[in-house]
Structure 1
Amino acid sequence: MSAVLLRSCPDNIFDSSQSPSFIIKPVRLPYIPPEIIRIVLSFLKNDRQALAACARVNSTFNLHVTPILYSTVSFAFPYNFSLFANTVNYPTYRTQWIKHLDLSAFSTIGLQKSYASLQNIVDPSTLVKIFRTCSSLESLSVSESLEEALTFDVLKTLFFDCNNIKTIDFCGFSRKTFTDAMNRLTAQMGRPQITYDESGYKFVTPAALFPHIKRLSLHECTTLGEYNVIIPLLAHSPNLTHLDVGGCSITDVTLRFMMDYTNIPNTLTHLSTAKCKALSFDGIADFVEQCQSLVHLNVYSDRPVTTALTEQSLIRIMRSQTMKNIETLDIGSTYIMPSVLRAIKENCSTKLKKLGLANAPITSLACITDFLSSMPQLEYVDLTNVPCLNLITTNTLLTSLIKNESHQIHTIELSQALLGKLGTLPKWKIVKNYGRRWYYAKIERKDGIKADRVHGRKLDITETGPERMSNIHQYYSFGV
């Protein structure tokens, strides 16, 4: 690369009558190794506009930028997907650069297109071609709008032909066609043989076929069978780091299987069992205590508080060695008492940044105030429908937090009924997201992340994007 450096002068410096002292000869910049260029450009991987500008700098930059631009491909509308699908018919080296395919926001809502027309746009044969052409594919995220397109042939190609796949994110799949396709798939994989005696369930597991899969989300896939689908998938993916089975029909058998027959407790860092109604208190506590690497735990319940995790089970979990490294914890709608908050403060205060306490049956404002003031690293807290918070007490709490400059809290989730009565505060604003959740959020945020993307009920499975969160969170059905 070269550049011409020009000193300022009153007239046209290219006029031959001007003194040559005003003109500096071209200076060649030092050679920049490709490794340095790649490192610099990697910091822009989530800013596509900046990358596109860098691609036009020169041929060297273009050579390094293009693979980054093509590494993540996301489609929200049929027209863009159709253009992409057409390129699959004439594959080029660019399709080999695609590592992340995000179809989680794909929809025809508002485009005056029927559900049937959507199936003509994204059909099974097209998806099979995409999976076979994108040989470097590492992650796939799909929403329920494309459920009919994921047939047995598509799933078979995804699991067996995409040898580099690490992340599979299904959300809200509940139709019979998908369930039948998954049943056929796991039957072909090989299911564990299950027996039962007085000591409990016994499994004979087949050899794991997908040790390379690290992240698996079956969020709200309510119709998938525990023994026919979920346990076989876990048996063949024994090295998971992220697992979201929120809303699935699983029991303690699944947790016990992972503890006794897989390596998952040793590798798992992110776990969501939110809204799993059939899990017992002791089953969850036993499993969490075995997962020594957890940094994210979501046991949010949609059951009445009196039937959710008990006070004793919560204290047992909070005092376990596992919780010393926890950064994100959601125990909303469980039996959260002051003793539970004390256990969190004693064992989890060092690294905890996000905490969900929705529907906690706490009637003392002093208990909440003292707890929050003793959590120096906390950045987000969910206080939705906590009984001690009303118009007066909430103003008192927020005022004390604002005066305490040492705290790190930038987002406070509250109920709509309460926030609708409260006014704005200095440097804070009221935010409503697509998921019908309401927040007080600081206006100035250093990281630039939106308040409604701070803490989703669905586990953050994907590794890409400026907020590292799938676009599925914009839909109210899975954002609450």
Structure 2
Amino acid sequence: MASATAPLQPKPAFPRMSSIPCGDHFHSRDSSPSPCSTPDGSRSSSQRRPSFGSIKEDTEDGIAQSFVDTHEDPSPSPSSREVQESRETKAERPGMQAPDFCCPCGGFLGWKQIRLGGKSLSRSYSDLRGLGAAQAKGWAWESHDETPKQELLPPKAPEVEVLQTPPGSSPLEKLPQRFSIKLSLTLRWIFRPMATPPKRGSGFVPTRIPHAACRDFGRFALNHMAQYPALGTLVRRLDFSHFTSVGLGRTKQMNSEIQNLTSRTLLQCLDLLPNLKECLLQEHLEGDISAEVIRKLFMGLPNLRAVDFCGCSTQAFSVVFQEALVGGPALPMTLPNLKRLSLHECSTIPAPMFDHLLSRLINLTHLDLTHTQVNDSALACIPETARISHLSLSRCTRLRPCALVEFLTTHPSVNQSLVYLNLLTDPTRFRLLEETDVSALLPKLPDTLRSLNLGGAKVTSDHVPFLVPLAKHLEELGLSSADLSVTDVNSLFGNYRNPATGEEINTPSTLCYIDLAKVPQMTIGAIFNTSTCLLLSNQSYPLQVVEFSDKIITPLRERAKTQRVSVGWTVRDLGRRGWYVRDPASVPHQPLDDGARYWKMGARWWGSRKIPMVVGDVGGLYGHYMFKK
């Protein structure tokens, strides 16, 4: 149960610790309501976990590219309070089956903050005993029968004196409120409703050991696992994507005096998780990541399959990363279990470190090196036994175009297995692929590919014969800054005859997302000229999302305000990015597509610029890097 009133002071977000199936098969997140869902399966907005500077996908809107900015609101709004009360009323409707077990969610402020009805809050033990239906007279374990107790006892049984603690005098009630909050957090490490029902015959009951407050990470969560080591053996995922130290006011002296999340407590935590398979870190923890922690991840956890260092870009992190790889005990010759690695925006790691690490990943499947110093030799070092399905080399300025094309078209680790490929660059600063490079790359891309981002590359009308066949199996295509005409764009969605060979292609397009930001000929006038542009017509279906630059999104937003009749498309934007999104109601004869795809690994919306390392909901700082930057 969560209070509808937001706290006056910012609260830290929580690391997530969860147990997932031991195999490579993951349950779909749609198979059951979330543990924090309301009884009818809907998710309350007050139950979203806040994280400073982060966003998450909003699955309630029903339209693509709907996001929730999860910044803390310092003051509650009447509308949010009214929404919460209406949802509480909805949960009490007859016929709604209450869950067998409930536990406090992340916003739980203690038993004295439980709403009794209206605006009143609980203040004592007796207030809580009165919750429930009118006939309720106490707790479930207390006797409610008015029949004298002596008549219920067998003959000759001695009388038992029932001691009633006066309201407000129980030991638990006398605890300060901060201790009751800490106690609830500790208990949540043990108890949690089942998030996903087990598959029949699997013999596995998925258990989730979720969030512990970072302020009490060592004192409660860590000590509790040390006291009960069996709990640590259940944990498969350690998720810090929602973690932030903003608002804690931490200093170096405080870190040495109290058991916050530090490099020492993080290392102790990893020591207690022998079966850990996925560890998700990010920039807010880079000061708490030591060389020992990195060595533990690469050498001390034999079951680890995925690790994410997203946004760790300080020089201090680079120093400890180098120390971990080459300054201490040598890494094993191979790291066979590590399959998914993200160094997204780890821009300070020196180029030789990539050679040292990538050459050991013999079973690599997911690699995100966005905005790093990786070079040609590091890519060539990737073992031929790897089968990479997801690869991002966006904004990697040390790569040579000819070497990159050769790697993508000939190296056994990628040339037949790619599903997601991101080569996005900003051409005003650095252009990765020139016109000849694009001509050499496009015809040799595998038909396994579902997402291709060539943003910033020198794409021209001469490349349309290569783009059209790709549009018959791609679902995402990034062409920002391309030199294409409206006719060229139409060719992706209509029938096309190759002018060189005379071959006609009339297979329907599979594109659901296309990035046309900064394409000079895509103007407002051209977009809405339905006689010459197919982009917004039903003929472009299943296209759902078109990404434009702010130069187009701003007038589109103003146009929507003044238009009386909907054109079937709406504006969505977030941070630096903006999209024109098709309203599902405009194509009622088509099946509703929620955007979920196996290769998105839990994400639903389109145009992600960060590769997920695990299957799960999009949120926290990862959501910021995926869709906001």
TM range (shorter): 0.7 to 0.9
Checking the alignment, whether the CA contact within 8 Å between 2:528 and 2:536 is kept in structure 1 is: no
The answer to whether structure 1 residue 95 and structure 2 residue 221 are counterparts is no
Q: Which residue of 1 aligns with 2:34?
A: 47
Partners of 1:41 and 1:272 in 2: how far apart?
Answer: 25
CA contact (8 A) 2:225 2:231 kept: no
In 2, distance between residues paired with 1:344 and 1:452? 24
Pairs within 5 Å for 1:277-356 = 277-289=397-409, 290=411, 291=414, 292-304=416-428, 307-320=431-444, 322-346=445-469, 348-356=470-478
Answer whether contact 1:103 1:142 (CA < 8 A) is retained. Answer: yes
- The change in CA–CA distance for 1:350 and 1:448 in structure 2 (over 3 A counts) is closer
Q: 1:58-97 maps to which residues of 2 (within 5 A)? A: 67-70=205-208, 73=210, 78=214, 84-97=221-234
CA distance in 2, matches of 1:154, 1:93: 22
Classify the secondary structure of the residue corresponding to 1:163. coil
Q: 1:446 to 1:371 in 2, by over 3 A?
A: closer
2-side partners of 1:286 and 1:275: how far apart? 18
| % identity of equivalent residues | 22
Unaligned 5+ residue runs, structure 2?
A: 1-24, 40-97, 103-190, 199-203, 496-507, 561-565, 585-591, 597-601
CA distance in 2, matches of 1:86, 1:429: 51
Could you say which residue in structure 2 is the equivalent of 1:144?
Answer: 283
Q: CA 1:130–1:225 in 2, change beyond 3 Å: closer, same or farther? A: same
Aligned to 1:255: 379
- SS of the residue 1:122 aligns to: coil
Amino acid at match of 1:271: L
> Residue deviations 1:337-376, cap 9 Å, x none?
1122321213x233200111111122x2121122244661
Is 1:359 matched with 2:463? no
Paired residue for 2:577? 437
Query: Aligned pair in 2 of structure 1 residues 92, 245: CA closer, same or farther (>3 Å)?
Result: same
Measured after TM superposition, the shift of residue 170 of structure 1 is 0.8
Task: Note the C-alpha offset of 1:43.
Answer: 5.7
Partner residue in 1 for 2:620? 471
Query: 2:483 & 2:307 partners in 1: Cα distance?
Result: 37
Aligned to 2:242: 105
From 543, 546, 559, the counterpart of 1:409: 543
Q: CA deviation at 1:476?
A: 6.2
Q: CA deviation at 1:96?
A: 2.4
Gaps of 5+ in 1: 1-37, 192-205
In structure 2, distance between residues paired with 1:385 and 1:74:
42
Contact 2:493/2:534 (<8 A) preserved: no
CA contact (8 A) 1:44 1:50 kept: no
Corresponding residue for residue 350 of structure 2: 225
Contact 1:432 1:452 in 2 (8 A): no
Q: Secondary structure of 2:320's partner? A: helix
Opposite residue 331 of structure 1, the aligned amino acid is L
SS of match in other structure, 2:447: helix
Deviation at residue 279 of structure 1 after TM alignment: 0.8
Q: d(CA) in 2 for partners of 1:283 and 1:361?
A: 24
The C-alpha deviation readout for 1:72-118, integer Å capped at 9, x for no partner, is x467x635857544533433533322212221231144x36357668
CA distance in 2 between counterparts of 1:336 and 1:239 reads: 33
Alpha-carbon spacing, 1:270–1:357, altered in 2? closer, same or farther (3 Å): same
CA distance in 1, matches of 2:358, 2:460: 34
Q: Say if 1:384 and 1:189 are closer, same or farther in 2 by CA, change over 3 A.
A: farther
Question: 5 Å matches for 1:29-48?
Answer: 44=31, 47-48=34-35
Q: Does the 8 Å contact 1:67/1:97 carry over to 2? A: no
Distance change in 2, residues 1:170/1:51 (3 Å): farther
Q: Is the contact between residue 139 and residue 462 of structure 1 (CA under 8 Å) also seen in structure 2?
A: yes
RMSD: 3.5
What is the count of residue pairs matched by the alignment? 411
**TM alignment of 1:351-390, pairs within 5 A:** 351-362=473-484, 364-373=485-494, 376-390=509-523
C-alpha spacing 1:68/1:396, structure 2 compared with 1 (3 Å): farther
| 1:124–1:151 Cα contact (<8 Å) kept | yes
Q: CA deviation at 1:129?
A: 2.0
Residue 225 of structure 1: how far off its partner (Å)? 1.5
* Equivalent-residue separation in structure 1 for 2:245 and 2:32 (angstroms): 28
Task: Call closer, same or farther: CA 1:451–1:477 in 2, change over 3 Å.
Answer: closer
Q: How do 1:172-183 and structure 2 match up within 5 A?
A: 172-183=311-322
Q: Report deviation, 1:451.
A: 9.9
Cα distance in structure 1, aligned partners of 2:511 and 2:300: 43
Q: Is the 8 A contact 1:381 1:412 kept in 2?
A: yes
> Which residue identity is paired with 2:404?
I
TM-score normalised by length of structure 1: 0.76
Change (3 A) 1:354 1:102: same
SS of residue paired to 1:174: coil
Structure-2 separation of matches of 1:113 and 1:173: 20
Change (3 A) 1:189 1:376: farther
1:256-283 CA distance string (max 9 Å, x none):
222xxx135x511111110011111111
Taking a change above 3 Å as real, the CA distance of residues 307 and 42 of structure 1, as seen in their structure-2 partners, is: closer
Q: Tell me, yes or no, if the aligned pair for 2:452 and 2:478 is still in contact at 8 Å.
A: yes
**Judging changes above 3 Å, is the alpha-carbon distance between structure 1 residues 372 and 112 closer, same or farther for their aligned structure 2 residues?**
farther
1:385 to partner: Cα distance: 1.0
Q: Report the alpha carbon displacement of residue 479 of structure 1 after superposing the two structures with TM.
A: 3.8
For 1:285, give the aligned amino acid: V
- Per-residue CA shift, 1:188-230, capped at 9, x if unaligned? 4547xxxxxxxxxxxxxx721x111100011111111221x21
What displacement does 1:149 show?
A: 0.6
Q: For 1:420, what is the secondary structure of its paired residue? A: helix
1:117-128 alignment runs, 5 A limit: 121-128=260-267
From 315, 327, 333, give the equivalent of 1:207.
333
